Amino acid sequence: MARIAYGVMGDARGHVTRALIVAREMPHHEFLFIGGGKVHDLAQEGYSVEDVPIPSTLYRNNRVDIPATVGNALKVWSSTRSVVKRVAQIIDRFDPDLILTDYEYFTPLAAHTLGRVCVSLDHQHVVTHCLYEQPREQRISRLMTSFSIKRIFSRADRFLIVSFYGLPPADPRTEVFPPIIKRSVVEQLSTEGDHVLVYQTSPTFHRLPDLLEKMGEPFIIYGLGERSARKNLFFKGPSGDGFLKDLASSRYVITNGGHNVVSEALFLGKPVFSFPIANAYEQFLNAHFLAKQGYGEYWLAAEPSLKILREFESRLDDYKARIKRGVFFGNEQVVSRLEQLITGRGGS
C-alpha cells in the first residue's frame, strides 16, 4: 500500500469528482486530500481531508464574474506563505509516496519546499500544455486563462491531462489520456427515451428555460434548483443516481462546457449541445473541440437560439455515428501511469 497526498481545487464539482474516481480506482492505497470547498465532500466518503482556502471562480448571469473572482483570488494569495508552510508540514508528516494536484494552488508549492516531486492530474492544462490551432474566438479570455494557468497553476513537475479530444502534448513533461469516468456511469445501460437532459453548472442562465419551453419536447433540468414543472420542463434537485438514469436514457444533452459532464455524455453515446460560460476559456475550448470532432455543437451568444437547436437536432444521427468512433474511457491507463510513478518507474 502506498500513501498519496492529493491537492484538489474545490470550487467546482468536476475536480472533486475526478479525484474521487482516482481514489476509488486505487482502493489499496491511502489517500490524504488537501483542499477547500467541495473537497470536504470527500470526508463523507471516508477519506482524510485537510482544509486550505481556494481561489474560487465566481459566476454572474452565465458569465465568469471577473472582478469578484480576482478579488477572491487576491484574498487567498495574501495568505500564501502561511498556508504553504502548513501544507508542507501536513505532507511531511504524511510522508506520501506520490503527491498529486488537481488544479490546487498550494500543494505543488509545499511539495517544492520539501524537495518533493508533484504531479498534476487534471483537464485544465489542455489549454497550455497541448498542441492545437488556437480558435479565433474569445482571444482575451484565452490570454487571461493561459496567463493564470501558467503563472499560478503550473507549478507541478509532470502533467497528466485527461481529455475527450486527445490533443498531442506540447512537451516531454506532459502526457494525455482519455477521460476518467465514474464506475456508476460505466455501469449504466444507455437507452434513448423521449426527454433531453439539461445540466447547468451555473444557476444564472435564466433565458434557457424560456427557449426550451418553446421546443415542446420534454426537458429534465438539473442545476437550476428543484421547482414545480412548467409545461414540458421538469426541474430536479441534486441526485446522483437519478441524474445518471436521466442521462443514460436521454436523446441528447444540453450543458455548459464542463469537461466531466460532456465526457460522461459522450461515453454513453449522447450528442451534446454546449452553452459554455462566458469568459471561462476552458469551457469554450471544450465546446469548440466538441463541434470540431463532430460530437455536437455550441452557442456563444447570450440569447439562446431556437433555430440553432432545431438544426442541431436534425444532425443527431451524424453526431452519434462520430461518437461511436471515439475513445472516452481512460481509467486503466491513468491508474497504470500513477502506479508507475509510485514505484519510481515513471521518471522524475
Q: Rounded to whole angstroms, what are the CA distances from 43 to 26, 107, 152, 244?
A: 17, 18, 27, 23
Q: What is the pLDDT along the chain (348 residues), one digit of tens a residue?
A: 999 999 999 877 889 999 999 999 999 999 999 998 899 999 999 999 999 887 655 455 555 556 555 555 656 566 778 899 999 999 999 999 999 999 999 999 999 999 999 999 999 999 999 999 988 888 888 888 888 888 788 999 999 999 999 999 999 999 999 999 999 999 999 999 999 999 987 665 678 898 999 999 999 999 888 888 999 999 998 888 899 999 999 999 999 999 999 999 999 999 999 999 888 899 999 999 999 999 999 998 877 789 999 999 999 999 999 999 999 999 999 999 999 999 985 454
Q: Rounded to whole angstroms, what are the CA distances from 135 to 4, 130, 170, 277, 301?
A: 37, 14, 17, 16, 16
Sequence-distant (6+) residues with CB within 8 A of 85 are 110, 113
pLDDT at 57: 58
- CB-CB neighbours of 76 under 10 Å: 17
Burial 104-127 (b: 16+ CB within 10 A, else e): bbbbbbbbbeeebbbbbbbbbbbb
pLDDT at 74: 59
| Domains (range + CATH), the chain | 3-180+330-342 (3.40.50.2000), 184-324 (3.40.50.2000)
pLDDT at 59: 52
What single string gives the DSSP state of each residue in 99-167?
EEEES-SHHHHHHHHTT---EEEESTTHHHHB--PPPSTTHHHHHHHHHHHHHHS---SEEEEE-TT-P
SS3 198: strand
pLDDT at 80: 79
pLDDT at 207: 81
pLDDT at 196: 98
- Residue 64 phi, psi (nearest 5): -70, 125
